[in-house]
Amino acid sequence: MSFLPELVYILCAITALSCTLLLLRAWLAQRVRLLLWSAVCFLGLTIENVLLFVDMIILPEIDLAMLRNAIALAGLMCLVLALILNRSSA
């Protein structure tokens, strides 16, 4: 059995988590709200990637697609809302 899908799922989760941490660090240094909302978005994408790993590898008999998509949508909607609010305040 190939371990490539597992590796890709884990690397995607690590990448999203790294983006989350870097955005949080930048927000702590600069206190720009858009950085915080971007970090929240990437936190949602991190959770979605972890759930993808759980869904496909650990519990393949349980379909978590709706939960994964809802979490990813919530994260992206946070970013879209932040972009709209940031645009209207400028």
Question: Which amino acid is residue 33, in one-letter code?
Answer: R
Mean per-residue pLDDT, 41-65: 97
Q: What DSSP designation does 62 have?
A: S
Q: Where in the chain are the domains?
A: 4-89
pLDDT digits 0-9 by tens, 3-44: 999 999 999 999 999 999 999 999 999 999 999 999 999 999
Confidence of residue 1 (pLDDT cuts 50, 70, 90): low
Question: pLDDT at position 53, please?
Answer: 97
Q: Percentage of the chain with pLDDT > 90?
A: 92
Question: pLDDT at position 87, please?
Answer: 82
Instruction: Decide: 62 and 43 in contact? Cβ < 8 Å.
Output: no
Question: pLDDT at position 54, please?
Answer: 97
33: left (phi over 0), alpha (psi -120 to 50) or beta: alpha
